[in-house]
Chain A
Amino acid sequence: MTPISVVDIDYVALAPVIIVLVAAVIGVLLEAFLPEAARRSGQLLLTGSAVALAFLTVLIVAASRPFGPIAGGSLMLDGPGLFLQGLILLTSGTAILIMADRRVDPGGDAFAGRVSTLPGGEEEREVSRRGLMQTEVWPLMLFCIGGLLLFVTSNDLLTLFIALEILSLPLYLLVGMARRRRLLSQEAALKYFLMGALASAILLFGSALAYAYAGTIEFAGIAERISERTTANTLVIAAVALILVGLLFKIGAVPFGQWVPDVYQGAPTPVTGFMAAAVKVAAVGALLRVLYVPFGGMRWEWEPVLWIVASLTMLIGSLVALAQSDIKRMLAYSSIANAGFILIGVAAADQVGLSSVLFYLLAYSVATLAAFGIVTMVRVPTGEATSLEQWAGIGRRSPLLATAFSLILLSFAGIPLTAGFIAKFGVFTAAITAGALPLVIVGIVASAIAAALYVRIIVRMYFTDPVSASAGVASPSPLTVAGVGLGVALTVILGVFPQPVLNLVEQTSIFVR
């Protein structure tokens, strides 16, 4: 009986993930043992400090640890992985600020007081009279963030799948927990769950085929096996196709993203912001790694597919967004369109493409979070004013909020001096150098369509007379102000002084294989 050699684990490099997940477990214990009155503040303190500490640790790891496989090769420490981990923690932290706000809604925070009560029942009224809040939200958030951190650094097919599940399962629950319009929220949760589980299963079967082809689940081993091949092999092509479908589902690309508008509309708005920002960042990060590292040798097979998907996603996302009358659905389609622009950079499949995608993710995610943060503030007595008609004349009553929202919309439209312009310029340039000119032309057309949409909303906010059912703007707590302010500030700063961040993404954009 010889002892099995112990895997070598670099605990410092693993620290961000460990901090977040241990905090999540402690959060569950707090739920079990803290008295009800102290739970919310305890959870907030724990969650906030864990995310902040993890962010600092990412910086320390980036400065001090050598790149390479950690945790026995299951995870990979490299530039893109660390950048995305930092970005995930930044956006999650911002989302947590917006989630923690309980002043915009007179009833409490964005989540149902007791998720188990029947919507509209006597029990629910009793709960809201007592002002109870469901504090399990916070451990669920931490588990989800832990999964996101693992997802972007995973270096074999098993870790990829497990990370995907760790991030998805808490999200399914979070989606169904809205305080207002609970039936809608529960339905969104069911839809997201069925679609998400289907996507995971497809990804898993793709992984199984990839393993059957390569005989290993490690990315490096699969890459080696693919580089050795001489003829086309059905098994590996099916594997790539299925894994690609699974990940594109998560990103919300057309035709796999039909769930996006429904789920984004039904979920509690801060959770929608978190999904549109942090989760999309992680999904794109995982897609990049999977396409570039294990399946980089099959670029000629997957690139045409990505071209088609990216074009469809941009066009359909922008066009359908035009027809929306609900602000959350509109932002959902806009996030689909943005996923298309990101895929342009992914399809470029070189270092320039990678760095442009990283910058795009940063610009897009902070703006999206701020946009959904603003949506939480515009309210009618029964909840958020999600109908676009109710937004008429907001600019006159609350100029500051309208200005912030306009800036974000201009960034989505890609107007110069906003982060969105630099980001779009980056992915288009990368695509042209990679020879994807048709894709860029489609992108520019889609941008023009989207710009028309965003300008229409700005016009509605400033130059339309308020209707009788128009929304008011709730006075937010400093938490939401900080979250939205950070997003808007970054959108402007990245638009005016992008160079330091551009340098950073250029330096970090090499995957270690």
Chain B
Amino acid sequence: MSPDAYLSLASILFAIGAAGVLLRRNAIIAFMSIELMLNAANLAFVTAARAWGNLDGQVVAFFVMVVAAAEVVVGLAIIMTIFRSRQSTSVDETSLLRW
């Protein structure tokens, strides 16, 4: 099995996710894009695990899933707090801090 195609797919997903974080203005969507990046990494990990015939990559994938869930909880809590304070999840409107 050649892992190249899978690694390419993972890279494309990763790039889509990164573009989403940097370009989209809605915190929830930026956040979903980060999840996409993590899952792209997971795909690369399991592909490499298969190609090398060892289990390390699959173990990492498990851990990444758990970490992603923990990140969801923390992230949604923060986004929710902000939403409750100002009724919006737009990243642009949160602009008390200047650059």
Contacts and interface: CB of A to CB of B under 8 A. Distances in A.
Contact of A204 (B31, B41, B97): B41
Interface string B23-58: 000010011001001101110110111011010110
26 contacts: A115-B81, A116-B81, A161-B64, A162-B63, A162-B67, A169-B71, A172-B78, A173-B78, A184-B96, A186-B81, A186-B85, A187-B95, A190-B94, A194-B21, A198-B18, A201-B17, A201-B34, A205-B14, A208-B10, A208-B41, A208-B48, A209-B7, A211-B45, A212-B47, A217-B56, A261-B97
Contacts of A217: 56-57, 60
A193 B40 contact: no
B34 A197 contact: yes
Given A173-B78, A194-B30, A165 B44 contact: no
Contact of A187 (B38, B40, B57, B94): B94
Interface string A236-259: 000000000000000000000010
B71 A118 contact: no
Interface string A144-183: 0000000000000110011001000100110010000011
A258 B99 contact: yes
A438 interface: no
B70 interface: yes
A161 B67 contact: yes
Contacts of B70: 165, 169
Contact of B48 (A116, A182, A204, A215): A215
A465 to B, nearest CB: 28
Interface string A101-136: 000000000000001101100000000000000000
B9 interface: no
B79 interface: yes
Contacts of B99: 258, 262
A216 interface: yes
B45 to A, nearest CB: 5
A191 B18 contact: no
A25 to B, nearest CB: 15
Contacts of A197: 31, 34, 71, 75
Contacts of B41: 201, 204-205, 207-208
Contacts of A215: 48, 52, 54
A193 B71 CA distance: 9
Given A161-B64, A184-B96, A198-B21, 5 more contacts: A158-B59, A182-B85, A200-B71, A208-B45, A211-B56
